[in-house]
A and B are shown apart, each in its own frame.
Chain A
Amino acid sequence: MAGVAGGNDFQWCFSQVKGAIDEDVAEADIISTVEFNHSGELLATGDKGGRVVIFQHEQECKNRPNLRGEYNVYSTFQSHEPEFDYLKSLEIEEKINKIRWLPQQNSAHFLLSTNDKTIKLWKIGERDKRAEGYNLKDEDGRLRDPFRITSLRVPVLMPMDLMVEASPRRVFANAHTYHINSISVNSDHQTYLSADDLRINLWHLEITDRSFNIVDIKPANMEELTEVITAAECHPNQCNVFVYSSSKGTIRLCDMRTAALCDRHTKFFEEPEDPSSRSFFSEIISSISDVKFSHSGRYMMTRDYLSVKVWDLNMENRPVETYQVHEYLRSKLCSLYENDCIFDKFECCWNGSDSAIMTGSYNNFFRMFDRNTRKDITLEASRESSKPRATLKPRKVSTGGKRKKDEISVDSLDFNKKILHTAWHPKENVIAVAATNNLYTFQDKIN
C-alpha cells in the first residue's frame, strides 16, 4: 500500500460528499460514527438522530478504469430511539456512539450499533427474488379454496427489485449504568465487549439477558472518583486480550485468562509527564479519547488532545512514536477550556497495512502520518475543494508571526468545524471523513 504524504507519486483526491449543503445543520444529522466493514465493501455511518446509513461500494466501471467505484446508499434504518429513564428523570440520547461490523459469515451482513445505554445487533440482508406460483394462494395473496385446486405446480423464484432489509436481531440492554463509549467485537467472533465510564462488560452475541462484568473501576465512594474509562478494544488476534484507556492518559492491557474480574492489569502503559510543560490543563489534554490496535496486533495507537502515540505492546514505559496533530493549540488551551473544545474526543485510525495513521482536527482539517517516511500531511474536507477527482491541496497552519500565502492563522481556525470521526478502507487507499453532517470520501489518484 502506498504512503500518504504528498510526493510526486501519491496524492489524495476528492471522491464524494454525502449530506445536506445547507449552512443550518440539523442536530440529528450530525454524524457520530463512521466504520468500514472488513472487506471495505460497506461503509456505515451513525448520526445523532439514531439513524444508521450504510453505503455500498459500486463495482468499478469497466470503461473508466481510472475511477474507483463510488459509495452509494445501500440501506438506511432507525437504529435507536430516544428514551426516557423514569428513575432518574433523564433523557437517554438516541445518538449512535459506535458501530462495529461483525466478520461476514454468510450472505447477510451484521453490525453492532450502540447509544449511551443499549447495544443492538442488526442484520442487513438482501432480497432480490420472490416466489411466484403458490398453490394455496393467489398472486395477490388471497387464499384459494383447496377443493378448487385441480393441479399442483412448483413455485418459481422470479427476480424482483433489490430490497435491502435491516432487522434487529438482538438487543443488549440494561447492563450499563454509565454512558457506553466503546464496543469491540472479539476475534473469536462469538463475544464482544462494551465499555462505559466505569465498567466493561463481556457479552456473548447470542445471549442478551446477561453479560460478564470484567472491569469495574467505580470507587466505593464516588467522591474519590478521579479517573474514568474512555475507550476499550479487543486484541485483533488474541481473544483473551483487551485494552482500555483512561482519562489520565494511561492504557491498561488485560488478559481475561488471569481472573474473572480484570481489575488488575497485565500491562500498564503510561508515558512519564514532561515536568517542563506541566500546567493546569496537563491532565485534561492527556486524557485518551481513542485507542486502536494495529491490524497486526503488535502495536496500538492512542489519541489524546494534541497528539497521536503509537505504542509497542512490549514496551510499557513510553510510546515508540509520537505525532503532533495540532501543537499550535497548546498556547490556546485556556480558551479551548473555556469553550469546551478541550473535551472534544477525536478518533484515530490505521490504514490497512499499518504504515500510516489518520486523525482529525479543527477547521475541517484532518491529518495523516506516514510511519515509514515520517512525512505528514494536512488536508481539508470542504465543499470548495469538492470537484470530482480534484487533487487535495495540502493545508498549513501558520504559527509564527509571518503568515505565508495559502496558510491559515491559528486565530482564524473554525473550532465548530471539527473532524472527530475518520475511517480508512481496510484494503485500499480510500478514506471516509465525517465533517459535522457531511460524509466525504477521498481516494488516491491512480496514475
Chain B
Amino acid sequence: MYSKGTKRKFSDGVDNKAVAASYSLQRQSLLDMSLLKLQLCHMLAEPNLCRSVLIANTVRQIQEEMAHDGSWQVVTEALGGSGHGPSDRLVDTEVLCQSPEQQDSGPKLYSVMGYDGCREEEVVTDKALCSVVVGDRSPAFLLGTIGHCWDRGELRVEDGVSKDSGTGDEEGTRSGEGAKLATGQVFGTFEIKNGAPGSDPALEELFSDVDASYYDLDTTLTGMQSAPKMGPYDFLDSLASSHGPVSNSSCRADLNELDHIMEIIVGS
C-alpha cells in the first residue's frame, strides 16, 4: 500500500507535479479512511477513546497540512494535466473552491478570501460548480474540500446553530466566536450577526443567485476559521450542526451520523 506520507517540498518543477498529485491523492484517501473509522465508532458498544482521539488527531493533522500546503498548485496541474481517473475527483473539489484569480496567489487563505474585489465573479463560479459538490457525496468527500472551501463558508457568518446537546450549544457559540473574529478581518464590509440562518436580507440578496443547496455547505463549514484553536471535534461538530434551508437527503443522513458520533465522543 502507500508508503508513509512524507512532507512534500515546495514544488518547483514539472517532475514534482505528478508526485504532488499522487501525494495529495494518498492524503485524501487517508482522510477519507480516518473519517470512516470515526463514523463507525458510534456503532460499537462503546468507542475506544484512545483510538478515537488518535484518529481525530490524524484527521486534524491532514486537514492542517491540506490547508497550509494548499492544493492550489495541484489544482493548476490537474487542470492543465490529463485529469483522468482518480484525480478527476481532485479536480472537482479543487476547481470548486477557486476562481481563476486565486490560482496565483499561493496558499495564503486569508488574502485569497478577499471578497471585496472579486466577490461576484466567485459567486458565479461557485454557482456553476457547487451543485457538483453537494450532490450525493459523503461528508468524507465534503471534508476533503473543507480546507479550500472554508472561504465559501464565510459567506454565511451567523453561528450558534448547534442544536443537539448541551455541549453542542457551547461548541456552536464558540466556533461562532472564532468565525466572527476571523471573518471580521476578511469581510470588513459585511455585517456580522448571530442569528437564524438566512435572516440577513443583505446576505440573501447578495447570494440570491447561489444554488440553495449550497447553504448546507455554508453552515457546515462555519467555524472553520477558528483553525488554530480547533479541536479534533470542531469540524465534526460544525458538520453535525448543519441547518441549511434546503436539505440534501444523503448529506443530511451523513451529517446525522456525524452528529451521533459527536454525542458519543463528547457525551461520554
Contact = CB atoms under 8 A, between A and B. Distances in A.
A334 B2 contact: yes
Chain B CB within 10 A, most for which of A230, A287, A334: A334
Contacts of B51: 340, 343
A226 B57 contact: yes
A212 interface: no
Interface string B77-93: 00000000000000000
A333 interface: yes
A55 B111 CA distance: 69
Given A91-B46, A228-B49, A332-B1, A283 B7 contact: no
A10 interface: no
A280 B4 CA distance: 7
Interface string A49-75: 000000000000000000000000000
Contact of B50 (A93, A221, A228, A335): A228
Nearest to B229: A224
Contacts of A197: 49-50
Contact of A224 (B2, B49, B231, B267): B231
A281 B16 CA distance: 23
Contacts of A228: 49-50, 53
Contact of B171 (A92, A223, A331, A335): A223
Nearest to A280: B5
A381 to B, nearest CB: 26
A338 B54 contact: no
Interface in B202-244: 231-234, 237
A247 B53 contact: yes
Given A91-B45, A91-B46, A281-B58, A225 B53 contact: yes
Contacts of A224: 231
A279 B6 contact: yes
B233 A280 contact: no
B268 A93 contact: no
Contacts of B234: 223
Interface in B1-33: 1-7, 27, 30, 33
Range of interface residues on chain A?
35 or more
Is chain B's binding surface mostly helix, strand, loop or mixed?
A: helix
Interface string B233-266: 1100100000000000000000000000000011
A88 interface: yes
A227 interface: yes
Nearest to B33: A338
A222 B46 contact: no
A281 B49 contact: no
A279 B4 contact: yes
B232 A223 contact: yes
B30 A227 contact: no
A226 B53 contact: yes
Nearest to A343: B51
A226 B231 contact: yes
B57 to A, nearest CB: 6
A166 to B, nearest CB: 27
A330 B61 contact: no
A224 B234 CA distance: 9
Contacts of A278: 7
Chain A CB within 10 A, most for which of B30, B50, B231, B237: B50
Contacts of B4: 277, 279-281, 330-331, 333-334
B51 to A, nearest CB: 5
Nearest to A88: B268
A83 to B, nearest CB: 11
A415 interface: no
A92 B56 CA distance: 24
A31 B170 CA distance: 43
Contacts of B57: 226, 283
Contacts of B30: 280, 334, 337
A177 B268 contact: yes
B185 interface: no
A46 B45 CA distance: 21
B266 A334 contact: no
Nearest to A177: B268
Q: What 8 A-B pairs come out closest when comparing CB atoms? A: A223-B231, A279-B4, A223-B233, A334-B2, A335-B1, A197-B49, A224-B231, A222-B266
16 contacts: A88-B268, A93-B45, A222-B266, A223-B237, A224-B231, A225-B231, A226-B53, A227-B53, A228-B49, A230-B50, A247-B50, A277-B4, A279-B4, A280-B5, A283-B54, A334-B30
